[in-house]
């Protein structure tokens, strides 16, 4: 079954030259899953990936991704929105980049 997951992403955006500005992005993605529970797990995996991939907000040093809604053709999938949040700090972003550089051939 297909599901639509909507995320709110509080992050940073850079036009280049090392300058970063705060940004808020709303992003909707389609995912497939056999059950609502698996759909939720997959959506939270996406949230973790977005948290890793987006720049941190310069005002608080964090990238915060929240799952806002999860829907199928049968209706909304219930979940606790307040617990469906992933945060990455600027330090975590830097450590992730360093670990990826070490793995590169």
Structural domain of residue 59, as residue ranges? 2-103
Q: Check if the beta carbon of residue 7 is closer than 8 Å to that of residue 50.
A: yes
Report in angstroms the alpha-carbon separations of 86 from 45, 58, 73, 90.
10, 17, 26, 13
The pTM of the full predicted model, rounded to 2 decimals, is 0.88
- Per-residue pLDDT tens for 34-79? 999 999 999 999 999 999 999 899 999 999 999 999 999 999 999 9
Q: How many domains does the chain have?
A: 1
Q: Evaluate if residue 104 carries a pLDDT over 70.
A: no
Residue that has been written with the tokens 């639509």 in this structure: 4
Q: What's the confidence (pLDDT) of residue 93?
A: 73
Beta bridge partners, 59, equal: none
């Amino acid at each position: 079954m297909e599901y639509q997951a909507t995320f709110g992403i509080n992050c940073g955006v850079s036009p280049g030259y090392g300058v970063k500005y705060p940004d808020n992005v709303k992003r909707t993605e389609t995912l497939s899953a056999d059950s609502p529970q698996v759909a939720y797990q997959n959506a939270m995996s996406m949230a973790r990936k977005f948290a890793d991939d987006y720049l941190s907000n310069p005002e608080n040093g964090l990238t915060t991704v929240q799952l806002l809604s999860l829907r199928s053709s049968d209706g909304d999938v219930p979940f606790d929105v307040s617990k469906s949040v992933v945060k990455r700090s600027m330090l975590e972003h830097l450590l992730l980049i360093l670990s990826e550089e070490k793995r590169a051939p």
